Amino acid sequence: MRLFLKPNDTFFFRDGRPFTRGEQSEGYSIETPFPSTVMGALRTAYIAFCGDMAQFASDQMESVIGTKQSLLGASIQVKGVFLGRNGGSLYYLTPRDLVSEKKSESATLYPLSIESQSGTSSSRSNSELSNLLTWNDPTMQVEHAGGYISCDNLRKYLLGKTSGLTSENSGFIIDEPKVGITRSHKTLTVDEGMLYRINMKRFSDSELGFVVDVNGIDPLPKSALIKLGGEGKGFTYNETIQQPDLLLASDRAKIRDVIDESKKFKLYLGTHAIFDDGWLPKCLHGDIELITAAVGNYVTIGGWDVANGNPKKAYRAVPAGSVYYFRLINRTKAETVLDCLHYKNIGDQRTQEGFGLAYVGAVPK
């Protein structure tokens, strides 16, 4: 089941930084909500539309949305949350192994090259990985592209195309700051030290919204109004046919053939991933060897524990857009890699909530 969520006004999604009343004066918002935020909103909607709080509190909804304490055994699963246009393109964070010309207005993206650290390599690193991702053209200075790429460009990227890739204008979401105060319940006057500012967001285009891929919650109405994010902002959702899994059957066959020939593939993270060993994924299936990676700065993932009334444990997650390169060993087949890893939520924590959504890409020989 895929839903298109359209805000009725501004929206606000907290990042991992603290925002305690009277201690911090400014709250920051991320552009796209964490999958766990959408999971919470959909569970709340399920309670409202398919029962009541008494049923939820007595664990009568456990098989679908879990309990206050756990999602264990629940059928609901969020695959991911994506920026998109209603009935149109989806947009993904630019893979971190693509760069753009420094201080240029050009939208052209260029791939980094895999270079061995052994032998006569011109680059050196203290990384224990056998290869580096480098830029070898001295005539052009480059930087991480940032921003977004369209689903069509990401599909080309996964198919192993190295030319003709372009980035999207990153101005999909604009800031709309809001200043507020806290009033005393006794005097109805402003509490001292309680002036705050939060950085609300708004789409620059009324056709933009968020596409959510969620399974195991079919009794939910196909369209409704829900609350999502900070201040309980209203979103209208409708079922959509937009497909965040970009690969057709023919695409999978092409990628399989390229991987079987080159014995290499890459994993692109469509959502943030939480690994127990920091940036290093050790939870993957099959006989594969990590050879290099392009990983961004960590993102702090937290949340609120409703059952215990306190913050959840915070994790440092690998950000969406990060890319890992692997080599096949011990006669591992590309078909096995695609079946086990493509459009699957990998990671060591909170995968049911939509973290760690991976896409398999080809690495030509």
Q: What is the pLDDT of residues 194-231, one digit of tens each?
A: 777 788 899 999 999 999 999 999 888 989 999 998 88
Question: Is residue 148 pLDDT above 70, yes or no?
Answer: yes
Contact call for residues 45 and 226 (beta carbons, < 8 A): yes
Q: How confident is the model at residue 95 (pLDDT cuts 50, 70, 90)?
A: very high
Q: Are residues 219 and 269 in the same domain?
A: no
State the chain's mean pLDDT as an integer. 89
Residue 186 within a domain: no
Contact call for residues 181 and 194 (beta carbons, < 8 A): yes
Which has more pLDDT, 196 or 323?
A: 323
Distance CA 214, CA 303 (A): 19
Q: Are residues 286 and 211 in the same domain?
A: no
Query: Which domain, by its residues, includes 117?
Result: 107-166+247-365
Residue 99 within a domain: no
Helix (H, G, I), strand (E, B) or coil at 111: strand
In the prediction, which pLDDT does 8 show?
94
Contact call for residues 351 and 287 (beta carbons, < 8 A): no
Which has more pLDDT, 181 or 246?
A: 246
Q: Are residues 285 and 266 in the same domain?
A: yes
Which parts of 86-163 fold into alpha helices (H)? Answer: 151-158
Question: Is residue 237 pLDDT above 80, yes or no?
Answer: yes
Distance CA 22, CA 25 (A): 7
Q: Are residues 265 and 361 in the same domain?
A: yes
Please count the structural domains in the chain.
Answer: 2
Last residue of a domain, one of 221, 239, 257: 239
In the prediction, which pLDDT does 52 show?
92
pLDDT in tens, 38-53: 999 999 999 999 999 9
CATH number where 293 lies: 2.60.40.4350
Residue 12 within a domain: yes
Q: Average the pLDDT over 233-259 and give the result.
A: 95
Residue 151 within a domain: yes
Q: Are residues 143 and 209 in the same domain?
A: no
In the prediction, which pLDDT does 199 show?
83
Residue 180 within a domain: no
Residue 323 within a domain: yes
Q: How confident is the model at residue 124 (pLDDT cuts 50, 70, 90)?
A: low
Contact call for residues 109 and 98 (beta carbons, < 8 A): yes
Last residue of a domain, one of 220, 239, 258: 239
Question: Is residue 120 pLDDT above 60, yes or no?
Answer: no
Q: Are residues 234 and 254 in the same domain?
A: no
Q: Are residues 228 and 332 in the same domain?
A: no
Question: Is residue 16 pLDDT above 70, yes or no?
Answer: no
Q: Are residues 140 and 211 in the same domain?
A: no
In the prediction, which pLDDT does 215 show?
95
Residue 252 within a domain: yes
pLDDT in tens, 275-321: 999 999 876 766 899 999 999 999 999 877 777 777 788 899 999 99
Q: Are residues 151 and 275 in the same domain?
A: yes
Q: What is the pTM of this model?
A: 0.91
Q: Are residues 15 and 135 in the same domain?
A: no
Q: Are residues 83 and 112 in the same domain?
A: no
Contact call for residues 205 and 236 (beta carbons, < 8 A): no
In the prediction, which pLDDT does 303 show?
78
Distance CA 67, CA 247 (A): 35
Q: Are residues 255 and 232 in the same domain?
A: no
- Inter-helix orientation angle 334-341/249-262, to 10°: 130
In the prediction, which pLDDT does 14 show?
80
Q: For 230-273, give the DSSP string.
A: GGG-EEEEEE----S----HHHHHHHHHHHHHHSEEEEEESS-B
For 174, other C-beta atoms within 10 Å of its C-beta total: 11
Last residue of a domain, one of 183, 214, 239: 239
Residue 179 within a domain: no
In the prediction, which pLDDT does 360 show?
97
Question: Is residue 185 pLDDT above 90, yes or no?
Answer: no
